[in-house]
Structure 1
Amino acid sequence: MKSSPPAPLSIGQLAQRAGVATSALRFYEAEGLIAGSRSAGGHRQYPRHVLRRVAFIRAAQVVGLSLPQIKAALATLPEGRTPTKADWARLSSGWAPVLDERIAALQRLRNRLTGCIGCGCLSLKACALYNPDDAVGESGAGPRLLDRPGTS
């Protein structure tokens, strides 16, 4: 005898289980990251596999991926099923270069934190060492020295 599919989750149940606000779920749905349906009474309801998709979205956000990057990744997954361990491994392996660059940028920031902030303002005594004649100021506003690879 076949068992019936599990009951869908209400938006409140999904929010509670996923640890996100219902407004976040509405936003994810509006952006095409998750999909639900409406009950006969007009209430949002979601299949249980959407819980895993929300967990995937949250993990990708923690990694630092943008919503367009997350949407592109989710578009490679089949609809109507929970992403598998193999799906996650395939997608997350492509994020290694993004993470490596973020790690490198944070290391550059850490190494320069006690010295010049690289703003080009010449307001710190150490700036004369890092930015003689305000040469960095010609390349634009902001912490220009922190943005350059290899300046740790």
Structure 2
Amino acid sequence: MTVTAYTKSVGEVAAESGVAASAVRFYEQHGVITAVRTQGDQRRFDDSAACRIRVAKVAQRVGLTIREIADIFAALPPDPQPADWGRVADTLVAEAEARAAALRTHLAAMCSGARLCDLA
């Protein structure tokens, strides 16, 4: 059994993921990443935290909510391996394709010449 080491500070995760420290705390608050507290009440994150945030940012650009992203990440083991990330990628790609198809359908309806108020 692998023991996950929680050694990274908020600042380190922020720097590695390209977000502000406040964003790291936001992602933790919403369950995208997990922290443990030191005896001094400082947050410590594992090595996957920055990767999770970078993946979450991509998923947000596709339109997924923080809750949806946290739900997808909930299936990840504590120390995700490439195959685990592959399953996350498959899920995100399928969701992105479904959303793109729905957008194309809505766009076609808007371009159909029908009254916009009748499209709903």
TM-score above 0.5, yes or no: yes
User: Which residue number corresponds to residue 23 of structure 1?
Assistant: 22
What are the ranges of 5 or more consecutive residues in structure 2 without an aligned counterpart? none
Q: Where does 1:43-122 land on structure 2 (aligned, <5 Å)? A: 43-79=42-78, 81=79, 83-104=80-101, 105=103, 109=107, 118=110
Q: Summarize deviations over 1:3-22 as a string: whole Å, max 9, x none.
A: xx977111111111110111
More helix by share: 2
Question: What is the RMSD computed on CA atoms of the aligned residues?
Answer: 3.1
Length, aligned pairs only: 116
SS at match of 1:9: coil
What are the ranges of 5 or more consecutive residues in structure 1 without an aligned counterpart? 119-126, 148-152
CA separation in 2, counterparts of 1:18 and 1:73?
A: 19
- TM-score when scaled to structure 2? 0.73
- TM-score when scaled to structure 1? 0.60
* Greater length-normalized contact order (CA 8 Å, ≥ 6 residues apart): 2
Q: Higher Cα Rg: structure 1 or 2?
A: 1
Contact 2:36–2:44 under 8 Å retained in 1? yes
Percent identity between the two aligned chains: 31
CA separation in 1, counterparts of 2:92 and 2:42?
A: 36
Q: Summarize deviations over 1:66-90 as a string: whole Å, max 9, x none.
A: 21221111111112x1x22211221
